């Protein structure tokens, strides 16, 4: 019984982190492209900030995957 709950928790962690990260990255990229369209001269600064924020979001997803792997290791 407990191993089934742990497996469901691991799957839920992966689904939630991947889903919300994908939504956040899409929204961030959309707003960055909107900002570049409004101010093309600031494209370099906006692109740098975009890449940094996308990398931090992806790191959160990797942490979620790490938690899922740790949960699966308890089965």
**What's the CA gap between 21 and 15, in Å, rounded?**
10
Nearest alpha carbon to residue 69 among 9, 2, 1? 9
- End-to-end Cα spacing for the chain: 10
Domains and CATH numbers, the chain: 2-73 (1.20.20.10)
Per-residue pLDDT tens over the stretch 22-72 = 999 999 999 999 999 999 999 999 999 999 999 999 999 999 999 999 988
Binned at pLDDT 50, 70 and 90, residue 3 comes out as confident
Predicted TM-score (pTM) of the model is: 0.79
**For every residue of 3-62, which 3-state class applies, written as one string?**
HHHHHHHHHHHHHHHHHHHHHHHHHHHHHHHHHHHHCHHHHHHHHHHHHHHHHHHHHHHH
């Amino acid at each position: 019984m407990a191993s089934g709950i742990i497996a469901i928790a691991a799957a839920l962690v992966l689904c939630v982190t991947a889903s919300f990260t994908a939504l956040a990255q899409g929204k961030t990229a959309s707003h960055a492209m909107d900002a570049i369209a409004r101010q093309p001269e600031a494209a370099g600064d906006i692109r740098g900030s975009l890449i940094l924020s996308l990398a931090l979001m992806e790191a959160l997803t990797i942490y979620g995957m790490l938690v899922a792997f740790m949960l699966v290791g308890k089965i």
